[in-house]
């Protein structure tokens, strides 16, 4: 398995492409938007430069990694001959189902289909392809090149063979794969999102301010990043989408998104990606000031 396609050049997609390319795989990075591809490749370049400056890779390693990535704006062209497709599109069920329907039409029956979804049912995604036994969840953490965990999620029909291949593949990337079963939110977000949501509720109820809540969780609980800052980095729209999936899946009110989170998403305050969330990232000086507080 040496030829990989990654669908989606956003934060997770470009990170996944970077990680595979740095480990010697040929990667086809696919996005319908040329602008998104250019932005994704610029991010990879900047991240590789940062690694060179820290001495973790050489200039030669950087250019080898970049040369391992080919960009496409057409899915059908991009997935020709690949061994594995990893979908890393927006956390939207219908969008993902449409992508997998298209993959089912154009890929060989031997191609493994993985999704980087952080909450959506692998079984439900697998139901739209002819061979659901080859569909699996491969949930990377952000930032992908640095975070060691890959949550490997088996759908109800995912085969033992495919699971073993993906577990081994994650290890080849220098990651630690953990196999989990297919429930809304899996393990990571079933535990993480209620904590983030409760932190937002704490702010909403005026128990404490943003900095105070994050500082309590950092210094008192040993978290490397406060939950509100983490929500900003994940994307508040992503947090809301995951909570909605869990609320719909479990029918449990404890997963009901806080009204403040809903309001922030509706007004376009999505966190780092939009320049404003619980913190203001709109100006480099302000972003630097925020970052300094957490170093």
Q: Do 289 and 244 meet the contact criterion of CB atoms below 8 Å apart?
A: no
* Statement: residue 293 has pLDDT above 70: no
Question: Does the active-site annotation cover 118?
Answer: yes
DSSP string for 95-161: HHHHHHHHHHHHS-TT-EEEE--SSS-HHHHHTTSS-GGGEEEEEEPSSTTT--EEEEEE-TT--HH
- Mean pLDDT (whole number) for 142-151: 95
> What is the pLDDT confidence band of residue 1, given thresholds at 50, 70 and 90?
confident
> What is the pLDDT confidence band of residue 287, given thresholds at 50, 70 and 90?
very low
- Mean pLDDT (whole number) for 62-80: 97
**Residues contributing to the annotated binding site:** 8-13, 31, 91, 96, 118, 142, 273
What proportion of the chain, given as a percentage, has pLDDT over 70?
A: 96
Task: Give the active site residue among 47, 151, 197, 199.
Answer: 151
Largest CA distance in the chain: 55
Going by C-alpha positions, the residue among 72, 52, 54 that lies closest to residue 62 is 52
For the CA atoms of 140, 124, 119, 113, the dihedral, rounded to the nearest 10 degrees, stands at: 10
Range(s) for CATH 1.10.1040.50 in the chain?
A: 187-290
Distance between CA 4 and CA 21 in Å, rounded?
9
1 or 72: which carries more pLDDT confidence? 72
Task: Give the active site residue among 47, 68, 118, 197.
Answer: 118
Q: What is the pLDDT of residue 290?
A: 45
* Statement: residue 286 has pLDDT above 60: no
**Sheet containing 69-72, strands listed edge to edge, beginning at the edge strand earlier in sequence:** 69-72, 26-30, 3-7, 84-87, 112-115, 135-140, 149-154, 176-181
* Statement: residue 170 has pLDDT above 80: yes
| Average pLDDT, rounded, for the chain | 94
- Mean pLDDT (whole number) for 99-107: 96
CATH code: domain 187-290 is 1.10.1040.50
Range(s) for CATH 3.40.50.720 in the chain?
A: 3-181
Instruction: Assess whether the previous peptide bond of 143 is cis (omega < 30° from 0).
Output: yes
DSSP symbol at 8: -
Name the CATH superfamily, with its identifier, for domain 3-181: NAD(P)-binding Rossmann-like Domain (3.40.50.720)
CA 4 to chain centre: 17
Question: Does the active-site annotation cover 189?
Answer: yes
Distance between CA 85 and CA 113 in Å, rounded?
5
Question: Does the active-site annotation cover 133?
Answer: no
**Residues contributing to the annotated binding site for NAD(+):** 8-13, 31, 91, 96, 118, 142, 273
Going by C-alpha positions, the residue among 31, 161, 143, 142 that lies closest to residue 89 is 31
DSSP symbol at 256: P
What proportion of the chain, given as a percentage, has pLDDT over 90?
A: 93
SS3 content of the chain, % helix, strand, coil (to 5): 55, 15, 35
Q: What is the pLDDT of residue 282?
A: 84
225-266 confidence digits (pLDDT tens): 999 999 999 999 999 999 999 999 999 999 999 999 999 999
Q: What is the pLDDT of residue 283?
A: 66
Distance between CA 145 and CA 114 in Å, rounded?
18
Question: Does the active-site annotation cover 59?
Answer: no
- Mean pLDDT (whole number) for 195-211: 98
> What is the pLDDT confidence band of residue 126, given thresholds at 50, 70 and 90?
very high
């Amino acid at each position: 398995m040496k030829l990989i396609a990654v669908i989606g050049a956003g934060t997770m997609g470009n990170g996944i492409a970077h990680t595979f390319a740095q480990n010697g795989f040929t990667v086809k990075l696919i996005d319908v938007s040329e602008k998104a591809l250019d932005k994704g490749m610029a991010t990879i370049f900047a991240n590789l430069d940062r690694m060179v400056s820290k001495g973790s890779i050489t200039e030669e390693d950087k250019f080898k990694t970049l040369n391992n990535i080919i960009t496409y704006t057409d899915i059908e062209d991009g997935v020709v001959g690949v061994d594995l497709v990893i979908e890393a599109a927006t956390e939207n069920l219908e969008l993902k189902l449409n992508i997998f329907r298209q993959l089912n039409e154009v890929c060989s029956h031997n191609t493994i289909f993985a999704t980087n979804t952080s909450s959506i049912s692998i079984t439900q995604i697998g139901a739209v392809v002819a061979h659901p036994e080859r569909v699996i969840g491969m949930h990377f953490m952000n930032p992908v090149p640095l975070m060691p965990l890959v949550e490997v999620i088996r759908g109800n029909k995912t085969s033992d063979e495919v699971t073993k291949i993906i577990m081994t593949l994650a290890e080849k990337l220098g990651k630690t794969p953990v196999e989990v079963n297919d429930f809304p939110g899996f393990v990571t977000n079933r535990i993480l999102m209620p904590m983030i949501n409760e932190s937002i509720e704490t702010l909403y109820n005026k128990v404490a301010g943003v900095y105070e809540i994050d500082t309590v969780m950092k210094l008192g609980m040993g978290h490397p990043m406060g939950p509100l800052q983490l929500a900003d980095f994940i994307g508040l729209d992503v947090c809301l989408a995951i909570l909605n999936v869990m609320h719909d899946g479990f029918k449990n009110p404890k997963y009901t998104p806080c009204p403040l989170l809903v309001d922030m998403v509706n007004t376009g305050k999505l966190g780092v990606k939009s320049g404003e969330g619980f913190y203001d990232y709109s100006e480099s000086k302000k972003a630097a000031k925020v970052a300094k507080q957490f170093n």
